[in-house]
Amino acid sequence: MINKRKYIEYLISTPANYTCSNLANHSENVSHDAVSDYLQREKLTARGLWELVAPLLNNRSEGYLIVDDSVQDKRYSLKIEMVKLQYSGAAHGLVRGIGVVNLVHSDGTDYYPIDYRIYAPDTDGKTKNEHFREMLLAAIADKQLQARTILFDSWYAAADNLKLIARLNRYFVTTLKANRTVSLSIESGYVHLEELEWSQAQLETGQLIKLKELPFKVRLFKVVATNGDIEWMITNHPALTNLQAIQEANDLRWQVEQMHRELKQLTGTEKCECRHARSQRNHLALCYQAWLAIKLKAKELHKTSYAIVKDLLSDYLRAELRHPHIPALIAT
């Protein structure tokens, strides 16, 4: 019999193959059809993840909500529903895949996913920015999260998102694309970011600027990397008035990137070969819960998530060295 527990423990334990066939082949009295029917029959959502995560959160106003998306690469799968051509940051280009928008809570050190949405505009007609706003509203109104600062990249720095965050009495830290136009004053009008002049003091403290369609000013920082690359950051947070402070806040976004990597590499989010959208949704839901189980065990043992999963293979290797299933052939 296949149930939620068995499938999650399979995701945690299997080293590389996450298919229904592999699970059936390694289970007693379980067929491939039984596994695929289970994935198609259930209706698992992000609510199940939230119920597990909610008691673990350090829910305080000094916390952060981090929004980012990830693409589950399905470039070789031609008949899986919800797969569409979209930009993948991991691939640095367009790939065929299933997009997922994630909302992560961080207390500055520890972090947990609290919501996610599948990007399927052909099904629900929603953009990634609409998913962003819906999850943010749900986090504050329904989940009663106290985090005051919202972190995200330039994809979500649309005026509607920034205005919503301000209306919710929250703060944002985000990046801007280089083609955005800003204004220092009514007299100066709007200019491209690259046209702004910066003193050494302004590089440290930022400049108050106006973005089109925003009824309030934000603080803009020009961050110049050692290789000369430039990143533009903005915030409406009254305490983030120097370069170091805004960089430290923005750097917390790496936590969601870490989660994306672990989900793919440790739970096989991309590896489900089922064709139906419901099966793909259920597989992803169970992958999040498998990731959470790995994370909590790693935290308990003061190890990384990668080390915890590697330990499973180490146990297998020790058993094989004691009693090898395939003994060596030694020439006399």
**pLDDT tens per residue, range 117-142:** 999 999 999 999 999 999 999 999 99
Per the structure, the count of domains in the chain is 1
Report yes or no on 197 lying in a domain.
yes
Over the stretch 276-315, which tens digit does the pLDDT of each residue have?
999 999 999 999 999 999 999 999 999 999 999 999 888 8
Residues 6+ apart with CB under 8 A from 224: 203, 230
Q: Does residue 316 surpass a pLDDT of 90?
A: no
| pTM of the model as a whole | 0.93
Q: Does residue 238 surpass a pLDDT of 90?
A: yes
CA 154 to CA 206: how far, in whole Å?
Answer: 18
Report yes or no on 243 lying in a domain.
yes
CA 98 to CA 269: how far, in whole Å?
Answer: 10
Strongest mean pLDDT among 16-20, 98-102, 208-212: 98-102
Report yes or no on 214 lying in a domain.
yes
CA 193 to CA 87: how far, in whole Å?
Answer: 24
Report yes or no on 280 lying in a domain.
no
Q: What are the CA-CA distances from residue 265 to residues 21, 187, 221, 258, 310 (Å)?
A: 19, 53, 35, 11, 12
Q: For 222-240, what is the mean pLDDT?
A: 93
Q: DSSP letters along 22-57, please?
A: HHHHTSTT--HHHHHHHHHH----HHHHHHHHGGG-
In contact, 204 and 222? CB cutoff 8 Å: no
Report yes or no on 58 lying in a domain.
no
Domain range for 245: 154-252
Q: How high is the pLDDT of residue 138?
A: 97
Q: How high is the pLDDT of residue 188?
A: 77
Q: Does residue 91 surpass a pLDDT of 80?
A: no
Q: How high is the pLDDT of residue 221?
A: 97
Q: How high is the pLDDT of residue 78?
A: 79
Q: Does residue 154 surpass a pLDDT of 90?
A: yes
Report yes or no on 99 lying in a domain.
no
Q: Which residue has the tokens 């003091």?
A: 201
Over the stretch 194-216, which tens digit does the pLDDT of each residue have?
889 999 999 999 999 999 889 99
Q: Which residue has the tokens 């945690």?
A: 12
Q: How high is the pLDDT of residue 332?
A: 72
Q: What are the CA-CA distances from residue 89 to residues 80, 135, 232 (Å)?
A: 21, 22, 18
